[in-house]
């Protein structure tokens, strides 16, 4: 059991591993919301916006507390966080439009492909901008 504890402590001490764990949880929440929206016959873009809003709120809370362990109480941090997600949202919106409307990709598949773009933008943006002062 002690070896397992050392292994998990070492893994959780790595910020990128924590980011991936939060990403998996956030993907379940965000993509789950998107898929439920599609299943309920929401227009894909409405489902995308709804899933994005819920995902951003979930992501901020988990990344602030677990990934980056930030204690910053100023408005700068959430504003930087939202800026990264706004940029990610714009890129993701373009990508999902291209995938679904121009290329005819299935909406469920397009949502999964779009995760690649938004995950990379999120990691670099939050690591280098949103929570840049956290060591």
Residue 72, domain extent: 2-130
CA neighbor of 122 nearest in space, from 52, 72, 37, 45? 52
pLDDT tens by residue, 95-134: 999 999 999 999 989 988 988 888 888 888 888 887 776 5
* Structural domain count of the chain: 1
pLDDT tens by residue, 49-99: 999 899 889 988 998 888 888 887 878 888 998 999 899 889 999 999 999
Please, what's the b/e burial string for 79-114 (b: 16 or more CB within 10 A of its CB; e: otherwise)?
ebbeebbeebbeebeebbeebbeeeebebeebbbeb
**135 in any annotated domain:** no
The structure's pTM equals 0.67
CA distances from 77 to 14, 50, 60, 128, 132 (A): 21, 23, 10, 12, 9
């Amino acid at each position: 059991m002690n070896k397992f504890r050392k292994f998990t402590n070492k893994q959780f001490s790595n910020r990128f591993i924590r980011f991936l764990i939060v990403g998996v949880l956030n993907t379940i929440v965000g993509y789950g919301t998107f898929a439920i929206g599609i299943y309920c016959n929401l227009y894909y873009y409405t489902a995308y916006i709804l899933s994005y809003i819920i995902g951003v709120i979930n992501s901020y809370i988990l990344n602030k507390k677990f990934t980056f362990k930030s204690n910053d109480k100023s408005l700068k941090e959430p504003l930087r966080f939202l800026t990264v997600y706004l940029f990610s949202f714009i890129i993701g919106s373009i990508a999902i439009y291209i995938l679904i409307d121009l290329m005819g990709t299935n909406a469920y598949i397009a949502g999964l492909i779009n995760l690649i773009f938004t995950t990379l933008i999120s990691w670099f943006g939050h690591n280098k901008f949103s929570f840049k002062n956290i060591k």
